[in-house]
């Protein structure tokens, strides 16, 4: 069973999804790749995982670094999981390029190179925005490239982190 919960952030509504034990999704309402069927196929409920996630978000949106990460369970490919694991290592207030992530993935897999575009596709489909910080990924020249939640939100998230 999938459960959902609504959170009101300074940047708009956020929908949380969980399996009862772990967070399985976190999207700005209306963002690209939002799983629209989720709303009709889920039960809205207040669960401990949502309380914990809302606490994390409250701390984050107050401009502080949360000292914990809620349990996350992802139903995704190994490639995307590897990308999301790298995203979780990007420190608060810092950024990494798609190319840097591609180089890490290539090294992990013992191959000469990996496509930065493939990395971009995985980053764009991140199902747990903000906590898995896809907003911290930038273009090779430091430019702020797309963000499924909207470029305006990416800018605000980075400003919040004092970028």
Please write the tens of the pLDDT for every residue from 12-24.
Answer: 999 999 999 999 9
Structure tokens at 57: 């978000």
Per-residue pLDDT at 163: 56
Cite the beta strand spans of 58-120 per DSSP E: 96-97
User: Is the Cβ–Cβ distance between 100 and 120 less than 8 Å?
Assistant: no
Q: What is the rounded distance in angstroms from the CA atom of residue 155 to the CA atom of residue 74?
A: 26
Residue 40 has pLDDT above 80, yes or no: no
| Pick from 52, 67, 57: nearest CA to 22 | 52
Q: What is the rounded distance in angstroms from the CA atom of residue 5 to the CA atom of residue 14?
A: 8
Q: What is the rounded distance in angstroms from the CA atom of residue 112 to the CA atom of residue 94?
A: 26
Confidence label for 61 from pLDDT (cuts 50, 70 and 90): very high
Confidence label for 70 from pLDDT (cuts 50, 70 and 90): very high
- Would you name the residues annotated as active-site residues? 134
User: Is the Cβ–Cβ distance between 27 and 14 less than 8 Å?
Assistant: yes
The whole-model pTM stands at: 0.93
Per-residue pLDDT at 28: 94
Per-residue pLDDT at 90: 97
Q: What is the mean pLDDT of residues 3-28?
A: 96
Q: Give tens-digit pLDDT for 74-122.
A: 999 999 999 999 999 999 999 999 999 999 999 998 888 888 899 999 9
Per-residue pLDDT at 137: 96
Q: Give tens-digit pLDDT for 126-151.
A: 999 999 999 999 998 888 888 888 89
């Amino acid at each position: 069973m999938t459960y959902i919960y609504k959170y009101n952030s300074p940047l708009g509504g956020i929908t949380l999804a969980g399996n009862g034990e772990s967070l399985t999704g976190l999207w700005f309402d209306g963002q690209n790749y939002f799983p629209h069927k989720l709303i009709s196929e889920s039960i809205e409920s207040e669960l401990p995982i949502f309380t914990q996630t809302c606490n994390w978000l409250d701390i984050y949106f107050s401009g502080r670094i949360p000292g914990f990460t809620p349990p996350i369970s992802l139903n995704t490919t190994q490639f995307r999981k590897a990308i999301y694991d790298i995203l979780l290592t990007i420190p608060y207030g810092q950024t990494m390029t798609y190319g840097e992530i591609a180089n890490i993935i290539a090294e992990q897999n013992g191959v000469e190179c990996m496509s930065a575009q493939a990395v971009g596709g995985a980053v764009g489909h991140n199902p747990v925005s903000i906590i898995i910080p896809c907003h911290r990924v930038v273009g090779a020249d430091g430019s702020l490239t797309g963000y499924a939640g909207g470029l305006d939100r990416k800018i605000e998230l980075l400003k919040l982190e004092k970028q």
